Structure 1
């Protein structure tokens, strides 16, 4: 990852801590637009998009995180389950995500 990407990600993290989520999203989106293989950045983008209630976009970002090999995939499936259960009232989809998370990390 380039220094420019690292700077933008650090700025995004600062904006998140300040509660400036839409601005942080823009920075994370700019990084994955240039470096779509950064699964962990997709994961962070998904978290922020959920906070903005952009649920479909969050699920898409989480899909990309999984596809790009983000660490802790069970956490991604858990986050997806929460969106399906709490936000979208789709218990079957939530259960599927939870089962996948448990298959990855049974403990």
Structure 2
């Protein structure tokens, strides 16, 4: 008997809560095969894919969430920036994501913090600061 989207969601959450992240990812992917319009599930899938080291796939999931109108798109942009900066070492792309997050919500403190950290990591030559 075929499983319903609700069954897949329940399985995904059960696996996630038990720390079985690979199985949670597989269940979320099965759910999204049936209901690809679920933006928030794409967001959750992105978070889990990052945790299991599937960084490019996580970026793709966050991108799908954004295209589908995920709630809190600035959070998805922030998560993309963290992956790009910390996991894939692509700081220019990370900065672009943080800029997009701040355009969506100029008061989004985590994006400001990450942007500051990104500039600090780059040092004065890359961040535009000039010595005396």
Instruction: Identify the TM-score tier after normalising by the shorter chain.
Output: over 0.9
Following superposition, which runs of at least 4 residues in structure 1 exceed 2 angstroms of deviation? none
Structure 1 counterpart of 2:88: 88
Matches within 5 A, 1:27-106: 27-106=27-106
Distance apart, 1:13 and its partner CA: 1.4
- Once residues 82 and 6 of structure 1 are traced to their aligned partners in structure 2, the CA distance between those partners, rounded to angstroms, is 31
TM norm structure 1: 0.93
Partner of residue 14, structure 1: 14
Partner SS, residue 85 of structure 1: helix
Distance 2:14 2:45 in 1: 14
Note the aligned Cα RMSD (angstroms): 1.2
3-state DSSP of counterpart to 1:28: helix
Q: How many residue pairs align between the two structures?
A: 105
TM-score between both structures, scaled by the size of structure 2: 0.76
CA separation in 1, counterparts of 2:83 and 2:44? 15
Distance 2:6 2:103 in 1: 33
Deviation readout 1:19-60 (Å, 9 max, x if unpaired): 100100111001111111111110011111001100111111
Higher relative contact order (CA closer than 8 Å, sequence separation 6+): 1
The Cα shift of 1:14 comes to 1.9
Unpaired runs of at least 5, structure 1: none
